[in-house]
Each structure stands twice: as structure tokens, then as C-alpha cells.
Amino acid sequence: MMPKIIVTEGKTDSLLLERVLTGFDNLKIKTGSGYSSALSLASSILIYHKQPVLLLLDADSNEPTEVADRYEFVRTYLKRAIPGAVFKVILFEPELEKIFFEDATVTEHLIGRPLAATELQSAQLHPKRFLQEAKVGNGPELIAKLQSDDIERLNQLGVFKEIKSFLQSAPKEVLVSAVG
């Protein structure tokens, strides 16, 4: 069976996915060292290993036009570089850490208190900065704070359902069409 590969921009993203995505046989999570590195890694896997890739990137913006432009650039780059490859691109707007603020229970557990509406809005616009200012911890410290019920709640988010759908539907042996 062909491995299913997820490529991320950084170690925190990979650690989170390892905690949330369980029950997938032959799943490999590869970590880049930023946007360009992750894009290069994904294209290398598609070109040389001819395996389906799910590329997860931060949009690094809340501006819809900028997000759409980045998404279209990545999709076009991969499609042109690797015709017929099977891949999916998911951009987290603005950053993957925003998922921690989509379920109030998870947010309150990580922060240690409820957030006021204005704090929540600020956190959703700049999640990494908010987590740093709240001294929640970063990377491994943050991921280690997640308990099983937090993981369960994160699994119910649309983005994780989308990720699982791709992993379940990716071809097992032959790459024939582009997904994105």
C-alpha cells in the first residue's frame, strides 16, 4: 500500500497532526522549515516518489485576496510542475494555530480561562502572537497541553474532516488525476 503523505511548514504543525490524526495506516508526516521548504518538499515527493500529498500551509494573511492568490499560486505551481499528480492544498487562515480558537472548550483549556469576545476576535486574527502573549507555550509545550477531549473536539472541526477525507480517498497505487 502506498504511503499517504502530509507535508507541513513546521514542527508544531507536525506534532499537532500526529496527536489528532490517528488510525491511518501508512501515514507519513513530513516537516519543512517554512513555506518555501514545505512547497519544495511536496513537489519533490510528487515528482520522485509519485505519491499523493496533502500540503498544509499557513496563509500568513487574513486578507481574502492574498489568501486566494497564495492558494492559486501553490495549486498552479504543483499542477504545472507535476502533471497528473494527486495532491490537495489546505491553507490555514492566517495560521494553523487558529484552530485552537474554533472551539471554546479547547480555547479555555489551553488558556486557562474563558476569553472575552474581543480577545477571541484578536486571537483568531493573530493566533500565534496571542498564544505567545498569553504565555501558553509554543510547539511541544502547547501540543502537550491537549487532552483527549480536546483532540476529540479538534477532530470535529471541518478542516480535520477534510484532511481525513483526502487521506481516506487518496489512491492506494496509481496516480491519475489532480485534486486541489
State how beta strands 4-8 and 87-92 pair. Answer: unpaired
Q: Give per-residue pLDDT as tens, 5-39.
A: 999 999 999 999 999 998 888 899 999 999 999 99
Q: Give per-residue pLDDT as tens, 120-157.
A: 999 999 998 998 888 887 788 889 999 999 999 999 99
Chain mean pLDDT for the chain: 88
| pTM of structure | 0.89
State the cell numbers at 1.
500500500
| Bridge partner residues of 90 (DSSP) | 56
Confidence (pLDDT) at 177: 33
Pick 60 or 134 by higher pLDDT.
60
What is the rounded CA–CA span in Å between residue 80 and residue 34? 22
pLDDT band at 82 (very low <50, low <70, confident <90, very high): confident
List of E strands, 4-46: 4-8, 27-31
Cα R_g (the chain), whole angstroms: 17
DSSP 6: E
State the cell numbers at 131.
498564544
Confidence (pLDDT) at 1: 61
